[in-house]
Chain A
Amino acid sequence: MIHWLYLHWRAFAQAVGRLAAQPLGTLLSALVVGIALSLPAGGYLLLDNVAGLAKGFSGAPEISVFMAPDASTDEVRAIDGRLKAEARLARYRFVPRDTALAQLEKSGLGDVLGGLQANPLPDAFVLVPAGNEPELFQALAGELRTWPRVAHVQLDSAWVERLHALLGLGRSAVLVLAALLGVALVIVTFNTIRLQILTQRAEIGVSRLLGATDPFIRRPFYWFGSLQGLLGGLVALGTVWGVVLALRAPVAGLAQTYGTLFQLAGPQAAESAAILGFAAFLGWLGSAISVRRHLAGESIG
C-alpha cells in the first residue's frame, strides 16, 4: 500500500512538474476548460436563484379547504383532527367564518356586507403542504374533496406547476449544455495528452526498456488530465463568482423595486465541490481515453 501511494505521489509530482514547465499552455488549457464549464455551472446557479426568487415573490403555495356553510362545530373539529394527523402538511391554520367576515369588512367591503342578514362565508382551513411538487398538491386536493362536509377545495398550484415546468426545462437545457461541453472538454484533454505522449515518447520507451509497467507509465498522464480539469474547475468557479459579485448589487436593486429583498447567491460548498469533482473527472476521462488510444501501440524500439 505504501509502495502504491509512493508511486502515485511520484506520478502526481511528475504531472505537477509537467504543468509547471509550460505555464502559458497550462493557463490557456485551464481557461478553455474553465470558461466552458462556467456556462453550465452559471446556468445551474441561475436556475437555483430563480427558484428562490419565485418563492420570495409568491410565498409558499397553499390549498384552501372550505367547509359546507351548514357544517356543525363538531364536523369542523373532525376535519381539524384529520388535518392534525396528516403528515404531508408543513402547517395549516383554521379561519373561522366570523374571522373571514371581519377581514372582508376591513378590506373596505363593510357597506356591501352590512346589507346581508347572515354571514354567507363558510369556515375554512388554509393548508401549506410539506413540498412544492405539483403531484403532492393534486393528491392532497383529491383526498380532501372526499372528506365529509368539505364543500370546496381550492388548489393554489397553477403557478407552482408553471414554475416547475420552467425550471425543469431550464435544468434539461443546462444538462444538455453540460453534456455537450463535457464532451468538448474530454476532447481538449484527449488532445493535450496526445501531445504529451508525443513529447514524452523517448522517456516512455526508455522506461519500458527498464521494466516500467503500463500503470507506471500511464499514471502521470492520468494525474495530468485530472489536474488540468481541476484547474479548469477552479477557473470556472472563479468566473461564476465574478459574475455573481458583479450582478449582485443590480439584481438586489431590481428586486427592491418589486418590494422584495433578494441577494444573488454564489455556489455553496457542496456545489463548488461538485464543479471541481466534475471537472477533474472529465480531465481524467479524456486522459484515460487518450492514453488507451496512444500508448497501446507505443514500442520501446
Chain B
Amino acid sequence: MIVFEDVSKRYAGGYTALAGVSFEIRHGELIVLSGHSGAGKSTLLKLIPVIERPTAGTVRINGQAVSRMPARSIPYLRRNLGLVLQESRLLFDRSVFDNVMLPLVITGHPPRDAARRVAAALERVGLDGRERELPAGLSGGEQQRVAIARAIVNRPSILIADEPTAHLDPDYARDIAELFRSFNSAGVTVVVSTHDATLFAASRPRRLVLHKGLLVEGAE
C-alpha cells in the first residue's frame, strides 16, 4: 500500500534527514514510527502526503509514485489521507464544527451530508455536543481530538499522525492512542510517530525505528 524505495531526503545546507530508507506498509497495518528527536520521523511522514519530496528514491501509494506527482494532483492525494500533526493546526476563530467541516467544504460535499459526517466524526472522538464551542475553550487533548475528527471526516483509508500525543498529559495521550487503535481495528491503515511506543504496545503494532535518518528496525 505504502512503499518507500531507497528514499533519501537532504535539506538545503546539507543536513540529511533520511538516508536510503526502504520499507513497505500493507493495507490495514498499524505502524508505530519511533526514534529520537531529529531521527527523521517527521520528514518521513511528510513524504507520504507530499508536503516534502525526497531528494532520491521513490514513495509509492497504491502503486502510484506520489513523490513524482505533479503539483496540481497533490491536493487530490491529500483528500484521501487523514493527517494529524503534532500541533492540532486548528483554526481558532472557527467553531469545532467548522474546523471539522473544512475538509468536506474543500471536497464540495453537500451541506446536509457534510453536517451528518461532522456529527459522526465528533461522536467518534467523544466530542458530540461540543460543536459550537471555539477551540480555545478546549483542553489540549480535546483540541487534538478535534484535529483527529477533522482527519477522519473524509473517511480516509490511510491515517498519518505525527506525534499526536507529544504535548498531552499521560491520560489524554492514552485516550488518543486508543482512538488510533480503534480506527485501525476498523480497517484504516494507521502510521503514527511517537516518542512513547508503549502507548500503542497493547495492539502489537509493527514498529519502524529511525536513527539519524537510517531505518534500523522494522524494514522487513
B38 at the interface (CB under 8 A from A): no
| Besides A210-B106, A216-B75, 19 other A-B contacts (C-beta < 8 A) | A7-B108, A202-B89, A202-B91, A203-B91, A206-B89, A207-B106, A208-B75, A209-B83, A209-B85, A209-B89, A210-B79, A210-B83, A210-B150, A211-B75, A211-B77, A211-B78, A211-B103, A213-B72, A214-B72
Q: Which of B130-161 contact A (CB under 8 A)?
A: 150
Closest-CB distance, B164 to chain A (whole angstroms): 14
A10 at the interface (CB under 8 A from B): yes
A69 at the interface (CB under 8 A from B): no
29 sample A-B contacts, Cβ–Cβ < 8 Å, listed by A number: A3-B108, A6-B108, A202-B91, A203-B91, A205-B89, A206-B89, A206-B90, A206-B102, A207-B106, A208-B75, A209-B49, A209-B83, A209-B89, A210-B78, A210-B79, A210-B83, A210-B102, A210-B103, A211-B75, A211-B77, A211-B78, A211-B106, A211-B107, A212-B75, A212-B106, A213-B72, A213-B75, A214-B72, A216-B106
Q: Which of B72-105 contact A (CB under 8 A)?
A: 72, 75-79, 83, 85, 89-91, 102-103, 105
Sort chain B's interface into a size bin. Answer: 20 to 34
B65 at the interface (CB under 8 A from A): no
Q: Which of A70-107 contact B (CB under 8 A)?
A: none
Closest-CB distance, B21 to chain A (whole angstroms): 20
Closest-by-CB residue of B relative to A202 is B91
- A213 contact set on B, CB distance < 8 A: 72, 75
Q: Which of A112-156 contact B (CB under 8 A)?
A: none
A300 at the interface (CB under 8 A from B): yes
- B150 contact set on A, CB distance < 8 A: 210
Closest-by-CB residue of B relative to A10 is B105
Closest-by-CB residue of A relative to B80 is A211
Closest-CB distance, A299 to chain B (whole angstroms): 9
- B75 contact set on A, CB distance < 8 A: 208, 211-213, 216
Q: Mark A192-220, 1 if CB is under 8 A from B, else 0.
A: 00000000001101111111111010000
Q: Which of A167-208 contact B (CB under 8 A)?
A: 202-203, 205-208
Interface of chain B, main secondary structure: helix
Q: Write the residues of chain B forming the contact surface with A, with a CB cutoff of 8 angstroms.
A: 49, 51, 72, 75-79, 83, 85, 89-91, 102-103, 105-108, 150
Q: A206 to B150, alpha carbons, bound, how many Å? A: 11
Q: A6 to B51, alpha carbons, bound, how many Å? A: 28
- B83 contact set on A, CB distance < 8 A: 209-210
Q: Write the residues of chain A forming the contact surface with B, with a CB cutoff of 8 angstroms.
A: 3, 6-7, 10, 202-203, 205-214, 216, 300-301
- B106 contact set on A, CB distance < 8 A: 207, 210-212, 216
- B76 & A211 in contact (Cβ 8 Å cutoff): yes
Closest-CB distance, B12 to chain A (whole angstroms): 14
Contact of B79 among A6, A203, A211 (CB under 8 A): A211
Q: A132 to B150, alpha carbons, bound, how many Å? A: 69
- B91 & A206 in contact (Cβ 8 Å cutoff): yes
Closest-CB distance, B116 to chain A (whole angstroms): 17
Closest-CB distance, A301 to chain B (whole angstroms): 7
Contact of B51 among A203, A206, A216, A300 (CB under 8 A): A300
